[in-house]
Amino acid sequence: MSCLREERNRYQPRIPKKLEEITSLRVEVEEAPILTKHPRELEEIFPKTFHQPLLKFSKAEEKSARPLKVGVVLSGGQAPGGHNVIAGLFDSLKKIDSRSTLYGFLGGSSGIVEDRLVELTEEKIRPYRNTGGFDLLGSGRTKIETPEQLESALQNVKAHALDGLVIIGGDDSNTNAALLAEYFLTHNCETKVIGVPKTIDGDLKNAFVEIPFGFDTACKTYSALIGNIARDALSAKKYYHFIKIMGRSASHIALECALQTHPNYTLIGEEVASTKGSLEEIVQSLTDLIVERAERGKNYGVVLIPEGLIEFIPEMRTLIQELNLLMSVKGEELLKRLSEEARKTFLMLPEIFQEQLTLDRDPHGNIQVSHIATEQLLLHLVKRFLKNRADYKGKFQPVSHFFGYEGRSCFPSNFDSNYGYGLGFVASSLIFQGYTGYMGVLQNLASSPEEWEPAGIPITMLMHLEERKGRQKPVIEKTLVDLKGKPFTTFSSLRGEWALEDEYHYPGPVQFYGPPSLCNEKTFTLALEQETKVGIHG
Ligand code: FBP
């Protein structure tokens, strides 16, 4: 084990005061608002779980406990903090009753369907405490939807007599949790299903879920790297760095990293969609900046590109939607079946990019944007545009980067260590109290962990209908960057200065030990959204 890993294994996460005495909590119910645009359809799909209330916790008398048997699964893309959810679950279940048992399903949701599981003991969990990655159990993106899959899952949880099943995942994985909860209830199965909000992308959030775990660490990790690159650019003064960063749909990561590092140019997918910016316009404005900086003798810079950008560009979106329906069609036949507009866009793209757009979708029907080199496409087109600019006297030497996987399995920040661990406690409290179909959350996250507020949110409340593989399916609605929200308006008021002046910030690596100002810093997104005062220049 590395020294840091040993040291981190010893870190004791801080938990909310309310969860300290886990068997003496009272649940207060509150009517849940109807947020969805599709209440009628969802009520039909989820007759048992659609109208469940919101749950809040308060202290009460000690409740008698019995040992619980719970299964847990890590699902979807890795996010720092996942192992701590498991550690939190394990510790809280043992607090409820030391005879409780925790099982881990292997390889994501398919482990539930195929009954692949291991018992998780303290010995197994200890080396994973406060570490990143999902390697304790592995992960996967299986969508649970066929009657056979649902039935196998039911038979497996019954065979193990599980009191609870905890699914740690993003929007698609929590959709699995909602489907299983409904199915289990319909078949009089006692197993309670609880979801835990995870994703580095930061888009599983709303008025009730402040932020998923993983976002904090991933953004800090990418920002450290972007800061290093910015300083290198400023030192050598010869390269333009085009950096694509993860965020399959929403641009929350790009926005947060921009606030942390002040690059010269940051694309925000949601803004492109709202201004209906075409690919040509994007490249034009990027080219204008490069020309203007060259006039000032600056032939270097840093450009941030969210990986989900591609789907926000109107003509690309149309093309992707059409390609989604024509996945098995290739070559000439594909060209024939595309609409005229989509065909024109397709043919304008370099061949390698055409290939990337036709790669297989994930099991949930999502295009795999991490495999699409948008940074290289932009760089290629900027080169082409610069050739036609008589007023450009600079030298354009671009370097492309993709920061994605390196931010998903790193040691979780103190925030994500505490947050993941606390979420494990919330999940076992909900099972202990007998609730199903809920997402366990912690609120008031801008305060110290002791003040975080546990709550239960009916998962179906967060759902809507979305077209997947050509059919309307119930899924959790992703929250995109709010162009009127404080994180974006703060960024937009400062980006003009960052474009021409080099006001790069160098956040440096994530800190675990030292003064709280260093190791407990919140992301700008969370702090600004909660109206906490933070100094962008500070
Ligand atoms: P989740 O939504 O499952 O958390 O995954 C997010 C993500 O990290 C995206 O940022 C990225 O596009 C995608 O996963 C990559 O998926 P994969 O690991 O399957 O390549």
pLDDT, tens digit, for every residue of 483-533?
999 999 999 999 999 999 999 999 999 999 999 999 999 999 999 998 754
65 versus 384: which is more confidently predicted? Answer: 384
Distance CA 92, CA 423 (A): 10
- Is residue 536 pLDDT above 60, yes or no? no
Q: Per the structure block, which two tokens stand in for 128?
A: 């994973």
Closest-CA residue, ligand 1 atom 20, reads 370
Closest-CA residue, ligand 1 atom 17, reads 77
Distance CA 137, CA 369 (A): 25
Find out whether 366 and 321 touch, Cβ atoms under 8 Å. Answer: no
CA of 426 to the centre of ligand 1 (A): 25
Please provide residue 168's backbone torsions phi and psi, each rounded to the nearest 5 degrees: -95, 110
Atom of ligand 1 lying closest to residue 369 CA: 12
Find out whether 87 and 104 touch, Cβ atoms under 8 Å. Answer: no
Beta strands 54-59 and 192-197, pairing class: unpaired
Q: Per the structure block, which two tokens stand in for 324?
A: 């989604």
Local confidence band at 538 (pLDDT 50, 70, 90 cut-offs): very low
Domains and CATH numbers, the chain: 3-214+412-468 (3.40.50.450), 229-406+483-529 (3.40.50.460)
Local confidence band at 364 (pLDDT 50, 70, 90 cut-offs): low
CA count, 13 A, side-chain hemisphere, 176: 33
Distance CA 302, CA 399 (A): 10
Local confidence band at 371 (pLDDT 50, 70, 90 cut-offs): confident
Closest-CA residue, ligand 1 atom 4, reads 199
Best mutation site among 370, 372, 479 for ligand 1, i.e. most ligand atoms within 8 A of its Cβ? 370
Local confidence band at 535 (pLDDT 50, 70, 90 cut-offs): very low
Note the pTM of the prediction, 2 decimals: 0.94
| Beta-carbon contacts of residue 515 (< 8 Å; ≥ 6 apart) | none
Find out whether 146 and 177 touch, Cβ atoms under 8 Å. Answer: no
Q: Which of 154, 155, 180, 156 is nearest to 166 (CA)?
A: 180
Please provide residue 70's backbone torsions phi and psi, each rounded to the nearest 5 degrees: -130, 145
- Write the pLDDT tens digit of every residue in 280-298: 999 999 999 999 999 999 9
Mind giving me the DSSP string for 348-364?
Answer: HS-HHHHHHHTSPPPTT
- Is residue 468 pLDDT above 80, yes or no? no
| Beta-carbon contacts of residue 126 (< 8 Å; ≥ 6 apart) | 9
Distance CA 10, CA 1 (A): 13
Q: Is 194 left (phi over 0), alpha (psi -120 to 50) or beta?
A: beta
β-bridge partners, 194: 166, 438
β-bridge partners, 473: 466
Establish whether 201 is a catalytic residue. Answer: yes
CA distances from 365 to 115, 140, 283, 320, 436 (A): 24, 14, 29, 12, 27
Closest-CA residue, ligand 1 atom 1, reads 77
Closest-CA residue, ligand 1 atom 7, reads 77
Amino acid at 288: D
Distance CA 309, CA 93 (A): 42
Return mean pLDDT, the chain: 93
Alpha helices in 326-413 (DSSP H): 331-337, 340-348, 351-357, 374-387
Best mutation site among 245, 246, 305 for ligand 1, i.e. most ligand atoms within 8 A of its Cβ? 246
Beta strands 301-306 and 240-245, pairing class: parallel
Would you call 32 helix, strand, or coil by DSSP? coil
- Is residue 367 pLDDT above 80, yes or no? no
Atom of ligand 1 lying closest to residue 371 CA: 20
Q: Which is the catalytic residue, given 171, 172, 201, 502?
A: 201
CA distances from 289 to 206, 234, 392, 491 (A): 35, 17, 11, 17
Distance CA 210, CA 206 (A): 6
- Write the pLDDT tens digit of every residue in 435-449: 999 999 999 999 999
CA of 365 to the centre of ligand 1 (A): 13
Q: Which of 276, 162, 270, 256 is nearest to 215 (CA)?
A: 256
CA of 77 to the centre of ligand 1 (A): 4
The burial class, CB within 10 Å (0-12 / 13-18 / 19+), for 156 is: buried
Find out whether 328 and 281 touch, Cβ atoms under 8 Å. Answer: no
Of 121-135, 204-218, 261-275, 336-350, least confident by mean pLDDT is 336-350
Distance CA 360, CA 374 (A): 17
CA of 273 to the centre of ligand 1 (A): 21
- Write the pLDDT tens digit of every residue in 206-236: 989 999 999 999 999 999 999 999 999 999 9
Report CA 282 to chain centroid distance, whole Å. 26
Q: Per the structure block, which two tokens stand in for 275?
A: 């201004």
Torsional sign, CA 12, 13, 14, 16: negative
Distance CA 196, CA 424 (A): 8
Residue 330: what pLDDT? Answer: 83
Ligand 1 first shell, C-beta below 6 A: 76-77, 79, 141, 170, 199-201, 246-248, 307, 369-370, 408
Amino acid at 402: F
CA of 169 to the centre of ligand 1 (A): 11
Q: How many residues does the chain have?
A: 538
CA count, 13 A, side-chain hemisphere, 83: 25
Angle between helix 82-96 and 414-433 (nearest 10): 40
Q: Per the structure block, which two tokens stand in for 319?
A: 């093309």
Closest-CA residue, ligand 1 atom 5, reads 77
Would you call 440 helix, strand, or coil by DSSP? strand
CA of 143 to the centre of ligand 1 (A): 14
Within 10 A of 70 (CB to CB), how many other CB atoms are there?
28
Q: Which of 324, 372, 338, 330 is nearest to 468 (CA)?
A: 324
Find out whether 25 and 18 touch, Cβ atoms under 8 Å. Answer: yes
Q: Which of 533, 287, 243, 538 is nearest to 407 (CA)?
A: 243
Average pLDDT over residues 333-359: 89
